[in-house]
Structures are given as C-alpha cells and as structure tokens.
Amino acid sequence: MGIVYRATYLKTGQDVAVKVLAPDLTADPKLARRFQREMDILKKLRHPHIVRYYGGSSSGAQRFYAMEMITGGSLDDLLRKRNTLSWEEAVEYGIHIAKALEHAHNEGVIHRDLKPGNLLLTKKGRIKLSDFGIARDTQATALTQAGKTVGTMAYMAPEQITGKKPVSRRTDLYALGCVMFQMLTGRTPFESETHPEMLFKHIQDDPPSVREYNMDVPIWLDRLIDDMLAKEPEDRPFDALAVQVQLEEVRTKVAEQESIIRETAAGGQSALTLKEGDRQLATKLVGKKKKKRKKKQLEVPVYERTWFLGSALAGVLLLVVWSLWPESEAAIFDRIQQVMASDDPGDWGAAESDIKDYLERFPEAQQASQVSGWHDQIEMYRAERRAETNIRFGRDPQTEAEQLFVEAKQYEKFGDRLTALSKYEAMVTLLKEQRDDSEARPFINLARRQAQRIKSSVGSSTDRTAFIKEQLAEADTLYLAGEAVRAREKWQSIVRLYGDNAEFEVHVQKARARLIDPKASMQAEEVSGLLDEAVDTLDRATREATDL
C-alpha cells in the first residue's frame, strides 16, 4: 500500500524514510483515512524498539509521512541469508520485540501484522517494530491476491482467521511465537502450498516442537514458544511483559545448568552432593530415573561385567573433567591479545567473554590492568558508535555523559578544536565521581582520549574569532560555487554552536542573515564595505587637505 523512499531533511542533513500512499490508492477515501490512522498511531508510540515517527502531511491528493531511517535491513532479510539464528540471538530479539509490543499494548495499539518483514534491524543489531495499521486493514482484500499474503498468513492467530474471538494483545503474542519459531528452525510452524490449508492448520493442527528441528534450543524456550502458539488466547502468556520475564528466565536456567557442569568438572559438586534445587533442575533435564534391570544368572562377556563398565565410565569421566578443566591465565591472556591485535574494532567483541572471565578469575594478575584497558577499549568503541548513530538518526543522547561528549564532538567536527578541548576537559572534571559508572565511564575515557589528541595536534591557530571568520568566508565561497547545501550547513553550525555566546554575536547574526537570504545578505555586506571604504577615502582626503 505504501511506497517508502529515502530522503534528506535539508535543515539538518538527516536521512529519513518517507512513506507515501501509493498513487493508485490516493483517490480511495477509505484507504486515505486508514493511512491517516497509521500516522495517528505512530505519533503516540515513542520507544527504542519502535520506528520513530517524525511527522506527516499532504500535498494535494498525495499523503506522506517521515520516519526514522533504518539501514540494517529486516529480520526477514537476515533469515534469508542465515536461515536460522542461535537460541541466544533469538532470545535477545524476542525480548526486543516483546518490549515494543508491551509499549504499543499499553497505548491501546494491537499490531496485528507482526512478521519478520516488519521487524527492522539497526546497524547495532537492535530490532525496530514498523508498519502499524495499514497491513492489517488491507488483509480482507489481500487474501484473494496470490503471492501477497502467504507471509502474513504464516503468522496469523486463530482468532484473526475465524473472528469468533476479538483480537487482543495475545494475538500479537501468537505472531511473536511464530516469528521465534522461524528464527530457531528456519521455517514457520505451519506451512502449506494453498491459502485455505494454511489457515486450517492455524485453527486445527498442533504446532510441532521447536526441538524437533533444532536440538540446541533449551527446553524452557521450546515450552514458552509452544505456550505462545496455543489455539486459545487465554492459554497464551498473559502479556508481552510476561514473555520478557520468561525469556530472561531461559537465560538464567541455562546459566544455572552450565554452572552445575562447571562446578562438577572443577571438583566443586559431585552427583552425590548436588543441592536440592540443582537436583530438581537435573531431574528436569534428564527425566525420570530408569528402572534397573534384574541381573540374569548367566555368564556374561567381560565387556558387560560391572567392573569393566565401571572402569570405562571412570575413564570417560576423567576425560570429561580434563576437557572442562579451567584454562590457565596465560592461555586466556594469549587468546585475548590475539583478538585485540586486530585493526578492525568489529573483531574485538569476540574477546569480551574471555576478558570478563579473566578479570573475574585473575583480578590481581600482572596483566589484569592491560586486560581491563582492553575492556575499556571495547566499551569506548561501542559508546562512540552509539553516539554517532544517535546523531545520524536525530535521537537524543541517552545519558548526561553522552550529551556532554556529543556537544564537545560537534565543536571538534566543525573544526573548533580549542572549544572542543575545553569541553572535553570540563566533562572529565564534572563527571569524575561517575568514573566507575558503566554508562558514564566509556564517554569519560573517550573525552580523555580526544583531549589528548587535540593537545598533541593543535597548532598556533587558536584564535576562535579568526576561525569563525574563516568558516563564514568558506561558506560564502561554497555558496557562490553553487554548493548551497554545504554552505547552509556551515551557517547552521555557527548559529547552533555559538548562538549563546555574546562574544561572537556579530558573526552569529551574519550567519543568520545568510540563512534567511544569502544573496541579499552578501549584497548588503558588499554595499556596507563600499561605504566604509568611501568613508575611509574621504577621511584621508580631509586629513591631507588639513596638512596642506
């Protein structure tokens, strides 16, 4: 129904996505109202996991609205490339989607068309829910159009198909269950070559177990998805928040399971000394104990005798313990060092689990400070990327530390390194009490790094007034050369960065005048210059006549 274009907002230079109602549908008043309804829904949804709405309007009969530009593709694109995701990735994405649904449901909005194609991915790997309203409203028509609804049908809850029960927040949870099933198995719960058979399966057939297709999936995650795919809405989780809690519990239970294995391998607990809670967990994993068979009073081969089997089992256990024995400090450090030697910061994340393990196990080691520095290096890279992404998409900084860093960075990008240095140093001083805060620490370290770089590279050009004059002159040159957009960017930067500083009021006023009417402003300045020159000439002539 809607056509999406990439556009640039000239006032800020920000890239946005513009959704336009298809030209052949603009004459239909019903569809026009539905397009307006989608805009009204997006206006009240502000959440990190929902595509942000910037504003909408119409030009004649053409309706459109602008929204956040997401350049990482969709979950559907990702699944086409990789077919399946790890259970850890599926849980992470599931939590993102559940958070978005929780916010929408709290605002009284049911998405009704949740599917991988409507789940967009940022470059940082964050899920963004998109396409509210239109897709569901047009399903009654689309059901008869071959090739356009199979994807949607694959995620439709029974109550959407039969209409016997009202659509509710649990309708979206059914669709989320279908999406998670696909992330883990590479296929949807129900598949068919015909539309009617597909719908019938949603209504009548029991969904297969995720573990039938992927045995790596934890049993708790398998059960949660099975609950989400219940035919009756009341048998599904209560709401999206409940889904988030259960997804987090999957992580916790898997961690507990791995903890039992590690402790047993390290000699901490044996099968005879398991705590009651751990014993219950082990029972759930293994199942009921098998009944012992009665020994037959017959001669059995050596390899079936108790002493032989016991010896073999002991050997296997020794092998398992040896393979799971904790690595040495040197081995972990060498592996971290190899990863962190990469020139590509994107590779550093592979060392993160080893870094955390090293710092937990060897906090007093000789190399601990260097490993801690590598951890800071990774966090700094991520924080800087996050700040740059927020700037690019027009999002507000998430913390005070990010706000201060972004402000200083803007001066540095503009070329005013002296002001940037002052801002960075002030930031380090202001936030010194927060240096151990996990959110603030990366930005404080970034400020220190940038300040040091500026100090080592700054030359004699430290006169800010001269610098601003140079920028104004450069902007004029760009404008006269036909590069109006770049010229406006420089004038806007001068107004934004120095508008509150009385010391540069004259230059700011000049930049504002250029933004209003560049040609008139330049002509007025030229006339003023000629008048000043004429006055100077007259003054010199008067002084010379007096001397005579």
Q: Find the helix or strand (DSSP H, E) in which 80 lies.
A: helix 75-82
CATH fold for domain 2-68: Phosphorylase Kinase; domain 1 (3.30.200)
Q: With bands split at pLDDT 50, 70 and 90, how would you rate the model's confidence at 326? A: low
Which value, to the nearest 10 degrees, does the dihedral of the CA atoms of residues 529, 531, 534, 538 take? Answer: -130
* 224 neighbors 253 (Cβ within 8 angstroms): no
The CB-side HSE value for 44 (13 A sphere, CA atoms) comes to 11
How do the domains of the chain map onto residue ranges? 2-68, 73-134+152-254, 339-457, 466-489+497-547
Whole-angstrom distance, CA of residue 173 vs CA of residue 112: 10
Beta bridge partners of 232: none
Q: What is the pLDDT of residue 171?
A: 94
Beta bridge partners of 192: none
Residue 469, token pair as written in the block: 């004059």
Of 98, 249, 247, 248, nearest in space to 175 by CA = 98
pLDDT at 300: 52
CATH class of the structural domain 73-134+152-254: mainly alpha
* Mean pLDDT, rounded, of the chain: 81
Q: Which residues are catalytic?
A: 113
Question: Could you tell me the sign of the dihedral formed by the alpha carbons of 318, 321, 324, 326, in that order?
Answer: negative
> Across residues 470-490, what is the average pLDDT?
88
Q: pLDDT-based confidence at 318, cuts 50/70/90?
A: low
Q: What is the pLDDT of residue 394?
A: 77
SS3 363: coil
Residue 267 Rama label (left phi>0; alpha psi -120 to 50; beta): left
Length of the chain, in residues: 548
Task: Write the pLDDT tens digit of every residue in 337-363.
Answer: 998 998 888 788 888 888 988 898 888
Q: Is 173 helix (H, G, I), strand (E, B) or coil?
A: helix
- Residue 539's pLDDT is 72
- The single-letter code of the amino acid at 231 is K
373-396 pLDDT per residue, tens:
999 999 999 899 888 877 877 778
pTM (global) more than 0.85: no
Distances (CA, A) of 434 to 65, 369, 430, 431, 442: 41, 20, 9, 5, 11
Q: What pLDDT shows up at residue 368?
A: 92
Both structure tokens of 116: 């991988």
Cα–Cα dist 320/310, whole Å: 15
Q: For the chain, what is the largest distance between any 2 Cα atoms, rounded to a whole number of angstroms? A: 143
Distance of alpha carbon 80 from alpha carbon 481, whole angstroms: 47
Asked if 179 and 115 count as a contact pair (C-beta separation under 8 A), the reply is: yes
Percent of the chain with pLDDT over 90: 32
Phi, psi of 225 (to 5 degrees): -65, -40
Q: Which residue has better confidence, 399 or 419? A: 399
How many Cα atoms sit within 13 Å of 476 on the Cβ side? Answer: 18
Of residues 24 and 83, more confidently modeled: 83
Strand order in the sheet with 2-9: 2-9, 14-21, 62-68, 53-59
pLDDT grade, residue 13 (50/70/90)? Answer: confident
What pLDDT does residue 145 have? 37
For 396-413, what is the mean pLDDT? Answer: 89
* Residue 265: band (very low, low, confident or very high) from pLDDT cuts 50, 70, 90: low
Q: Residue 15: count other Cβ atoms within 10 Å of its Cβ.
A: 15
Residue-level pLDDT at 127:
94
| Confidence category of residue 372, pLDDT binned at 50, 70, 90 | very high
- The C-alpha atoms of residue 97 and residue 122 are separated, in whole angstroms, by 13
Ramachandran region, residue 112 (left: φ > 0; alpha: ψ -120 to 50; beta: rest) = left
- Paired tokens of 87: 């259970």
